Amino acid sequence: MFRKFILAFVLAALCAVASPCQTKLSPKWEELTAADFRDAIVQSKGVCMLPFGILEKHGPHLPLGTDLLNVRYATLHAAEREYAVVFPEYYFGQIFEAKHEPGTVAYSRELQLRLLQETTDEMARNGCKKVFIVNGHGGNESLIPYFAQSLLEKPHDYVVYAIIGERNRQGGPGKLSTGIDYHAGENETANTLVTHPELVHTDRAKQESGADQARIKLPEDVYTGIWWYARFPDHYSGDGSVARAALGEWNLDGWVMSIVEALRAIKADDTSLRLQNEFYEKSKHPLDTKQ
Ligand SMILES: [Zn+2]
């Protein structure tokens, strides 16, 4: 009896100084109870991740949700190392350039911005004062910085942070393909061989060409929206047939680590919100701003 009492006392003392005795909270927003959600926001220090995917063709051999599946894999693995709440599946981004392919879901420009705004507003209203967008889709690389910058339009009581790229990295196992590798090629196929091997049909990767067709001749610094279709009309860029999981492991380790490092820096950052508030205040009376 006495020994039992001592044991309980020691355990209680341990639990008071360390957290392993608490029930482990899921990072997934949709899996938490309302009461656990409150604890999760405290544990994550108000940092919530929004992994941002898309539904689009990925060559002849990868699933439509490749970007969503892979970004969620990286984000959830990062949350295991550095806790943060992870928002449910989000795939309402910019993908007009794949509207000619089956299975693409391309919401209007207005809805993309409005939905992102209302989503981050709702996250913040629920205590996510630091919203961290982790992008998994190349077509969002202009949308996300534009959205984040446009938050300066009027006051918000939260900060949006984002990692835009980081889906592959230099070094690691040598690549077997040598050409451009932008979409469903060796890198992305290798990543998906790690995250969802059962959904990869490597044997079909040669059914179409992922070569650059370079059909428009313009100087490099001239932009036109049809550039992607001009170069990669089958929504395939690179060669997925040579992909191996080892390259995917390398890419994903780097991606997960970059998210973990970002999470730690974001948790420690109090300057962004302070400067944002200072900016909003000054922007109400610009004539008083000293030159
Ligand atoms: Zn992709």
Q: Ligand 1 centroid to 131 CA: how many Å?
A: 23
What is the Å distance from ligand 1's center to 40 Cα? 30
Q: Find the 138 Cα to ligand 1 centroid distance in Å.
A: 7
Can you read off the two tokens belonging to residue 198?
């059962």
When mean pLDDT is compared across 7-11, 269-273, 275-279, the lowest value belongs to: 7-11
Q: How high is the pLDDT of residue 169?
A: 79
pLDDT over threshold 50, residue 158: yes
Q: Distance between CA atoms of 123 and 66, rounded to whole angstroms?
A: 25
Give the whole-angstrom CA distance, residue 134 versus residue 79.
12
Give the span between the Cα atoms of 52 and 164, in whole angstroms. Answer: 10
Does residue 209 carry a pLDDT above 80?
yes
For residue 55, what pLDDT is reported? Answer: 98
- Reported as half-sphere exposure (CB side, CA atoms, 13 A), residue 283 has a value of 10
DSSP string for residues in 140-171 = GTTHHHHHHHHGGGS--SSEEEEE---SS-SS
Can you give the C-alpha Rg of the chain in angstroms? Answer: 22
State the distance from the centre of ligand 1 to the C-alpha of 245, rounded, in angstroms.
16
Task: Find the range with the poorest average confidence among 16-20, 47-51, 234-238.
Answer: 16-20
Give the CA-trace dihedral at 169, 174, 180, 186, to 10 degrees: -80
Tell me, in angstroms, the distance from the centre of ligand 1 to residue 136's CA. Answer: 7
Q: Does position 9 have pLDDT exceeding 60, yes or no?
A: no
Q: What is the model's pLDDT at position 22?
A: 58
Does pLDDT of 6 surpass 90? no
* 216: three-class secondary structure by DSSP: coil
Averaged pLDDT of the chain: 92
CA of 216 to the centre of ligand 1 (A): 23
Q: Is the dihedral of CA 278, 284, 288, 291 positive or negative?
A: positive
Cα 286–chain centre separation: 36
Cβ neighbours around 141 below 10 Å, total: 15
Question: Residue 203's pLDDT band (boundaries 50, 70, 90)?
Answer: very high
pLDDT value, residue 168:
74
273 Cα: distance to centroid of ligand 1 (angstroms): 32
The per-residue pLDDT for range 76-101, each reduced to its tens digit, is: 999 999 999 999 999 999 999 999 99
Task: Give the Å distance between the CA of 66 and the centre of ligand 1.
Answer: 6
d(CA 20, ligand 1 centre) in Å: 37
Alpha carbon distance 248, 194 (integer Å) = 6
- Whole-number Å distance, alpha carbon 135 to ligand 1 midpoint, is 11
Contacts of 146 (CB under 8 A, 6+ apart): none
Ligand 1 mean position, distance from CA 266 (Å): 26
On whether the CB atoms of residues 29 and 87 are closer than 8 A, the answer is yes
Decide if 132 contacts 263 (C-beta within 8 A). Answer: yes
The pLDDT value recorded for residue 12 is 47
- Cα 27 from Cα 259, distance rounded (Å): 14
